[in-house]
Amino acid sequence: MLLAGSLAITVLSFILGYPLFFLLLFIPFLFYRRRGTKRCPVCGWEAKGSEQFCPFDGSPLGDEPGE
């Protein structure tokens, strides 16, 4: 599946005249997934890891609003 998709993108880009190095610039974005952030309700500190409590004031972290 991945090989077929890669070959299809390569053939399509060749037909459209895009250089290969231009497509290689987008490889890091293919595997980028936005992780949920947690925010301290007291001080506003943001955590993207597995932290459960704020390291500054010890408050439990809540989920980022809007995500």
Read off the pLDDT of residues 37-48 as tens digits, 9 standing for 90 and up.
888 999 988 888
In terms of DSSP H, where are the helices of the chain? 2-16, 20-24, 27-30
Name 53's bridge partners: 60
CA–CA separation, 23 vs 6, rounded Å? 11
Mean pLDDT of the chain: 77
In single-letter form, the type of residue at position 51 comes to E
Say whether pLDDT at 25 is over 60. Answer: yes
Which are the contacts of 23, defined by CB distance < 8 A and separation ≥ 6? 9, 10, 13
The model carries a pTM of 0.42
